[in-house]
Amino acid sequence: MAGSTKAATQPQTAETPPREAMSLQEKFVKLREAVPVITQRQHSEGVKYKFAKIFDVYALLTPAMNQYGVNFDIVAEKATRHSENGDPVYYSHFQQNTQRGSLIVWVYEADLTIRWTNADDPEDILEVTLHAIGTNDSGPDKAKGSAWTYCLKYYLFEKFGIDQGDEDPDMSDRSSAAPLPAPNRHTAPQNGAGGRNTQPGGQTAQNGHTGAQKPLTDAQLSRMYRKGEDAGITQTQIDEEIERQYGHKDPHNLTRAQYDEICNRLDAAKRQQGQGGTSNV
């Protein structure tokens, strides 16, 4: 078994019992057993809901990594976009109209390569590339912090099958922008699938839940605007089309189905542009 010889020669003290020789994949199973569930908490008075932070994950995962001898490192950060001269571009920004007025929202985007290493056999490794994207209206540094935090947190949740209990509300608190009233129209159920049910006042419920849906996040809008940029369509043009077709002055209030439709149309516009056609939302 990988690492058996090196594990047997591991220095031992009275306080440290000998560690069982295991491969990295076998150790992952032990780590998954050590963090079966994370209890969501309210972390501040300003945020009224409970959620799990990445530090809650580390609080349980790090002792298990120490116990079983597993190291975790970020070994590469690679830009996914480049300027016309080929320089890497990690940051972009767009203007957002909110209750606080017009804000500049910074966007960070990159691929992160993380490496898991078996401390008892350093040649036993696993490298994974993750796509990180985050936004913040306080500056590019905080956009990067948001991107890394969310990327790693949700990767660890999925990697180790961590149960968060209630539905994760992390992305639903959009205090910087006030939702506008829903347009006075009704959305018909689509083929009876997907759990979409029309609610009073034109609000729709998704995935079997009742009540108003959660607003789209800044990261989702950034993804949509980037698709527009790739197709030669400006943010203003996209916003105008959203208001014209769906009645939403604030794109955050799009339903997920409407958002997906806009993104699909932008993808089609990009393909059309590549074939020499004219791009339209």
Q: Which residue has the higher pLDDT, 63 or 137?
A: 63
Out of 14-28, 85-99, 162-176, which region has the weakest mean confidence (pLDDT)? 162-176
Which domains does the chain carry? 21-164 (3.30.390), 200-272 (no CATH)
Question: What is the rounded CA–CA span in Å between residue 103 and residue 51?
Answer: 26
Mean pLDDT of the chain: 76
DSSP for residue 16: S
- Answer whether 21's CB lies under 8 Å from 1's CB: yes
DSSP conformational letter for 147: H
| Other CB atoms within 10 A of residue 226 CB | 19
Percentage above 90 pLDDT, the chain: 31
The answer to whether the pTM exceeds 0.85 is no
Instruction: Using the Cα atoms of residue 82, residue 153, residue 220 and residue 274 in order, give the sign of their dihedral.
Output: positive
Contacts for 24-27 with beta carbons within 8 Å, 24 or more apart? 24/70, 24/116, 24/117, 24/118, 24/121, 24/124, 24/125, 24/126, 27/68, 27/69, 27/70, 27/118
What pLDDT, on the 0 to 100 scale, is given for residue 278?
Answer: 58
pLDDT at 85: 92
**pLDDT tens-digit map of 75-128:** 999 999 999 999 999 999 888 877 767 889 899 999 999 999 999 999 999 999
Q: Percentage of the chain surpassing pLDDT 70? A: 67
d(CA 238, CA 242): 6
